[in-house]
Structure 1
Amino acid sequence: MGKAKFKLKEPNSKTETLIYLNFYYNYKRFKYSTGEKINPRFWNDTFQRVKETKQFPEYPEFNARLDKFQNGINNAYRRILNDGVQPNNAILKKELEAELSDNIIKQNKLSLFEFIEKFIEESKLVKKEGTVKVYKTSFKYLQKFASHLRTGIDFESITLDFYNQYIHYLSTKHNLSANTVGKHIKTLKTFMSEATERGLNENYEFKKNKFKTLREEADTVYLSVEELNKIEKLDLTALPRLERVKDLFLVGCYTGLRFSDFTQINPENIIDSKSLMQVRTQKTGERVFIPLHRVVKNILKKYDNKLPKAFTNQVMNRYIKEVCSIAGIKEELETTITKGGKLIKTPEKKFNLISTHTARRSFATNLYLADVPSISIMKITGHKSEKSFLKYIRVTQEQNADKLLNHPFFNS
């Protein structure tokens, strides 16, 4: 016999979250949205029911509705077996809904755009501001595309034909780069996936391989140890704003931390006895331990272990270009970007390509070139696979060959 279990969609949420029915049978899992929502603080995970508490007085009726779901899936599964039918998720869904009939909690049928609006509002409570901003921007482009088509866009509209038309529209009408178009496709897939999880969407074309997120390797650069030494030696005391930016940037280059993390370092993060820094990263919540490089030690000593207040990321990006220009990092490079469906090549001075994120990429690349094991670097950068890590670092073919020259295979 199968086994039914109830699971909260977001068990750590501070607000109401959906309850899913999971039914396990024949080494398979059938997942079904009950349409019921509960604040996790009222949920008893051991008994798979709402807690019997005065703070949630409607618990008897709520648990009775969950009982109907559990009895319904058990009855549906038993009936399928009695009929001699091999059960699968599609058959289970049909039989469960037939079993529940009028007892099922019917969700109000939202259109795609109504759902996206609702999802964005919910996301403001649990997602980072930057993520919500991406959702809003992607939604605006979808609305503009609907106006362009002079027709509504709903769940069933999201087909491979839609995908091709939408990519062409974003690329030509709005002249967006391939990576920006890819970001909006990725967000659309997020909207569709979330709606599917909630039982609002039954169109799965967005899951097909051809409905892919576009991605073009960006012309990102890194700063070599020699270039970092040039920056370190700059005397910018006459320009306090640049001195501050220089020091913060170098901390990023020698710790591998993101801008949101290396600008928040304080004395509590420093373990002097071990010459280590420990930081819980804002993006992933992981705790990382980083050996203190000589440059970082000197900068921390300069500010009594409390780094100066940072400018905004945008201002830092502008000022760090000034710093790198003064340091003479003016090598001319050719940049390429696909925009409006066309490959555009542009000569650019290297200092103009430097941003706060260059610090993190420089850290990873310089350690890799110094033969530090990838797994050790990934423990700091947070990359989950070596494949994604190797895409992240910037090593030329010549640099790769130089590394291999000392490998035992080429010296045997």
Structure 2
Amino acid sequence: MAKISFYLANPKTKNETNLFCLINYGLYRIDNGAKKYLPLKYYTDIAMFPDLWNKELNRAKESNKWANPETFDISIQAVKESARKNYEAINSEIETFERTAKELIRTLSENGNVPSHDKLRTELDKIYKPTKVTTEQGETPKELFPFIDFFIKTATRKENTIKSYKTLKNNLLEYQNDKKTTLTFDRLDIDFYNSFVDYLTKPKTIKTKAGKSKTVSGLSVNTIGTRIKILKTFLSAANDRGISVPTDYKKKSFKKPNEESFSIYLNESELTSIYNKSGLPLYLERVRDLFLIGSYTGLRFSDLAQLKKENITSDNTINITTQKTNQKVVVPIHPIVREIFRKYDYKLPKLPTNQKFNEFLKEVAKLAGIKEPITMESTKGGFKVSETTEKYNLVTSHTARRSFATNAFLMDMPSISIMKITGHKTESAFMRYIKMSAKDNALKMQSHKFFNPMLIAK
């Protein structure tokens, strides 16, 4: 049985470093009458920061550092969930590499003779480094996994997007190994779609490095939706490059599963409680003030960081070009925003990191009494799951922007006017963004003349 051990290529770096592995699979030479085993040294594309590697377990460590940066704008639960997914995904990628390498060794062995280093390396490269072994430079690989790697290597996307591409590739390899099949483009039809979604939904039992069984939970509906969206991207790109693929991916039935994601907003009463909270330490007071600016302007965290006196015009508005969309936004100045600017002589405090900001903000919300029990529901592994926590635990920098949009809408500000600030292109997208509860909706409708016939009579 082959033994595969992983190591950090540069364990002393402060940046990400790739893993390489030593594959011992029985190849040896006779040296002075004794067997000397010859492991294959193979560099992988799996990368991580050295402090996230567990040398003893030969696996990635569990840590919130694995979380995607944008989740720090949502909630600590989102951070933990993102970290767990990424941590499990990287270890799953390692385990998939192990299984793939061992299966290659088994299939390449003939009459008890194991493959040479060159043969095994070439076959591994076909799967993991296709641009190294495929055709002339610029020619697109026609096989599934070489094409996916080619697409990833040539894509001009953000780092997190590239990571999500690699995660899907790993999911496909896991599926292939689990089903004992070989995935090719012509097999990615609606039947595969149904089988793959089912595979991602159900929990799986895997073997750890220590040889113990471990159950990995199935993915959430929205995570599966992300995987399918990326798969459709791969298939569309392959089709555009002249590769024959089933057209099922264009059908409505080959859909991206999704459900409404959970998020909160703070109503005017809760914002007032935060505004009125006195006796805060200076670092919390500054976070509170910046959060209130976001709650009354609708600006993103990244835009708050660049607000200056020059952004305030003589007609009592804030003019700013947003960092994310590079669009010019004009926002009327709320009295609380004006008050905070004057408090700091129009030189706002420097923002801490988003992670620290959210950590401090939860302290502020807790001290302000934002403790309403909130139950979050989602579908995971095919089952409905719920978790209840106090509301302050869910408050993040992005809550300010959502609070602005929701409160403005509830106060009858035209949605088209709010969308000019939030940047939503369609009213349907905007309505999904705001967080109006059934009670909020009923209270808003109460003032309508339909529910006040006496007003009509007058």
TM-score bucket (shorter structure): 0.5 to 0.7
Determine helix, strand or coil for the equivalent of 1:272. Answer: coil
Tell me, which stretches of 5 or more residues in structure 1 are unaligned? 1-105
Matched residue type, 2:263? T
Counterpart position of 2:241:
198
> 2:198 & 2:177 partners in 1: Cα distance?
15
Counterpart position of 2:185:
155
Task: Give deviations 1:97-156, integer Å, cap 9, x for gaps.
Answer: xxxxxxxxx954432322332333333x4x333433333333333333333334333322
Cα RMSD, aligned residues only: 2.4
- Report the CA distance between 1:237 and its aligned residue: 4.7
- Report the CA distance between 1:328 and its aligned residue: 0.5
1:220 lines up with 2:295 in the alignment: no
Aligned positions, number: 304
Q: What percent of counterpart residues are identical? A: 46
> 1:290 & 1:401 partners in 2: Cα distance?
29
Paired residues of 1:135 and 1:187 also in contact (CA < 8 A): yes
Matched residue type, 1:151? T
Match of 2:149 among 105, 117, 120: 117
Matched residue type, 2:154? E
1:137-216 alignment runs, 5 A limit: 137-173=167-203, 174-216=217-259
- Report the CA distance between 1:264 and its aligned residue: 3.1
Higher mean displacement: 196-205 or 158-167: 196-205
Match of 2:317 among 266, 276, 279: 276
Matched residue type, 2:171? Y
Higher mean displacement: 131-140 or 389-398: 131-140
Counterpart position of 2:413:
372
> 1:360 & 1:261 partners in 2: Cα distance?
11
Counterpart position of 1:359:
400
Match of 2:366 among 313, 318, 325: 325
> 1:256 & 1:326 partners in 2: Cα distance?
23
Q: Taking structure 1 as reference, are residues 378 and 117 closer, same or farther at Cα in structure 2, changes over 3 Å only?
A: same
Paired residues of 1:182 and 1:214 also in contact (CA < 8 A): yes
Paired residues of 1:109 and 1:200 also in contact (CA < 8 A): no
> 2:230 & 2:196 partners in 1: Cα distance?
13
1:231-310 alignment runs, 5 A limit: 231-235=274-278, 237-240=280-283, 242-268=284-310, 270-310=311-351
Tell me, which stretches of 5 or more residues in structure 2 are unaligned? 1-137, 204-216
Counterpart position of 1:43:
none
> 1:298 & 1:142 partners in 2: Cα distance?
55
Q: Taking structure 1 as reference, are residues 169 and 263 closer, same or farther at Cα in structure 2, changes over 3 Å only?
A: farther
Q: TM-score, normalised by structure 2?
A: 0.61
Q: TM-score, normalised by structure 1?
A: 0.67
Paired residues of 2:144 and 2:184 also in contact (CA < 8 A): yes
Matched residue type, 1:219? F
Matched residue type, 2:190? L
Paired residues of 1:177 and 1:339 also in contact (CA < 8 A): yes
Matched residue type, 1:210? S
Paired residues of 2:229 and 2:256 also in contact (CA < 8 A): yes
Paired residues of 2:265 and 2:435 also in contact (CA < 8 A): yes
